[in-house]
Amino acid sequence: MSRRPRRSGEDDSVLGDSLTPDAPDDHSLTLDAPDDHNVTLDAADDDWEWRRKIRSNPHSHLIYRLVVGVVGLIIIVVGLIMVPFPGPGWLVVFLGLAIWATEFEWAQRLLHRARHILKSWNELLKPQPWWIKGLVLLLTIAVVAAIFWLLFLISGVPGFFPDAVEVWLRKIPGLGE
């Protein structure tokens, strides 16, 4: 369950208890009002004292926003570089987005949207027969192979591969010298 941040000028008596189990758990509720054009979260909306203190001072808040923005950007770029390779590329991208979401409302909305899409995709594939799941896996492998082929076509076959792998890759159409 998630807590909806307070809007400007809204007090706790208006909010009620937003952590009740009967609260709808859909994504039709947004984190901010349509007329709320804040880019960052308000100091009063934070649960952590140290962040409320930073956000209450405009100078420290600006520095904090810059640090969060740069750290999130570095993690997202590293994650995007990792995406075509085996490993946790998308997980690292979502980690960078989660870091941005601690400070920026637009990143919170994007993170919630990405979680919703991932959950929908998972719910779509779960009940499918094994052959459809296998087809999706084969399609994913084909897309990754096409990305690597384009990468090697543009930059050449890297020399750090073992000789047998490098010779095999150069036999692939378009990758031979």
Parse the chain into domains and list their residue ranges: 41-126, 128-177
Q: Which two tokens stand for residue 44?
A: 């009063």
Residue 19 has pLDDT above 50, yes or no: no
pLDDT at 38 (0 to 100): 53
Q: What percent of the chain stands above pLDDT 90?
A: 28
What tens digit of pLDDT does each residue of 98-125 get?
999 988 889 999 999 989 998 998 899 8
Mean pLDDT for all residues in the chain: 77
Asked whether residue 150 carries a pLDDT value surpassing 50, the answer given is yes
Residue 28 pLDDT: 41
- How large is the average pLDDT for residues 33-62? 70
User: CA 4 to CA 31: how far, in whole Å?
Assistant: 6
Residue 12 tokens read as 């706790």
The span from the CA of 15 to the CA of 18, in Å, is: 7
* The pLDDT of residue 123: 92
Q: Which two tokens stand for residue 38?
A: 């804040």
* pLDDT grade for 41, boundaries at 50, 70 and 90: low
Better-predicted residue by pLDDT, 75 or 152: 75
Place 147 in a pLDDT band, splitting at 50, 70 and 90.
confident
Tell me the CB-side half-sphere exposure of residue 96, using CA atoms within 13 A: 19
pLDDT at 8: 46
The string of DSSP codes covering 81-147 is: HHTTSSSSHHHHHHHHHHHHHTTBHHHHHHHHHHHHHHHHHHHHHTTS-HHHHHHHHHHHHHHHHHH
Is 163 or 42 the better-scoring residue by pLDDT?
Answer: 163
| 3-class DSSP assignment, residue 24 | coil
**Integer CA distances (angstroms), 7 to 10, 80, 132, 168, in order:** 5, 34, 45, 60
Which pLDDT does position 45 carry in this prediction? 63
Q: Specify the pLDDT at position 117.
A: 92
